[in-house]
Amino acid sequence: MDKEKFYIDMPDQITIQNQINIILDKGLKEKQSFYKYIKNMYKQIGLNNLFHDAIEIIFVGLVAFGIFISIILQGQEMSCMKVNKIYVFIMIISPILYLGLSLISFISTKERGTYEIEMTCKYNLYQLAVFRMLIFSIVSIFFNVVVIGIIVIKYKEINFIRAFMISSTSLFLFSYLFLYLVLKIPSRVTKYLVIIGWIIINSILCFVNIDLYMNILMSLPIVVYAAVTFTCVYFYIKKLKELIKFTSIKGVM
């Protein structure tokens, strides 16, 4: 008895391509935007888990605020030329709170023994650091606005808009340089060298010719500060996106 033969019609190329597209659509995850990624991280983790060291962070913020306000309020009456040197002060200290909060957060993570746990979670330490850095940037902006507001109240010669733009430029310029160098040169000492370098460079500029430094800050148009700030923000976000993709960088943190 002859065996019955079965013939299966091969699908045409269009059908094959359609099936491939269906498989790819179901199998591949939709590429998330940076905003959506951060939003999903917030929903899945929550601020309580992201900032388990909230008390220490708040304490550091209050101490920094108290120190800056004390310096401002205890200052004596100054001539217009000396008052304008406050712009130099704003340029130098604006990133300090951001840096302090970031370092305190990471040090606290290690001391609490959650470093290894965070490194094995869905979001690793570096990805959580991205969210924290964004929050710290926003907090630093509001902090600087309050401090500048108090400075303007005490010293009427200070222009709030110019002071705010100098502060924002300084904050995001430092933030970008900090991330860039830390990722470019993955060493435990890099972050400390960036901090020391920022202070030393600004101190040298002040020591060599503080009046020239002040005049440069005073003479640059507001639009230049705005352009530099937005450029720094763009590259800062770009570096944060790079940090999200990293799972392990020896010596960065």
Domain ranges of the chain: 34-245
Tally Cβ neighbours within 10 Å of residue 138.
11
Q: Decide if pLDDT at 219 tops 80.
A: yes
Across residues 176-199, what is the average pLDDT?
80
The pair of structure tokens assigned to 178 is 């900090």
- 241 vs 13 pLDDT, higher one: 241
How does pLDDT run across 136-156, given as a tens digit for each residue?
788 888 888 888 888 888 888
Q: What is the mean pLDDT of the chain?
A: 73
Residue type at 13? Answer: Q
What is the rounded CA–CA span in Å between residue 26 and residue 179?
A: 36
Note if the pTM is more than 0.75: no
* Strand blocks (E) in 8-153: none
How does pLDDT run across 119-136, given as a tens digit for each residue?
445 666 667 777 777 877
- 101 vs 68 pLDDT, higher one: 101
Helices (H) and strands (E) in the chain, counts: 12, 0
32 to 26, 28, 43: CA distances (angstroms): 15, 12, 15
Across residues 235-239, what is the average pLDDT?
87
What is the rounded CA–CA span in Å between residue 29 and residue 130?
A: 21
pLDDT value of position 18? 65
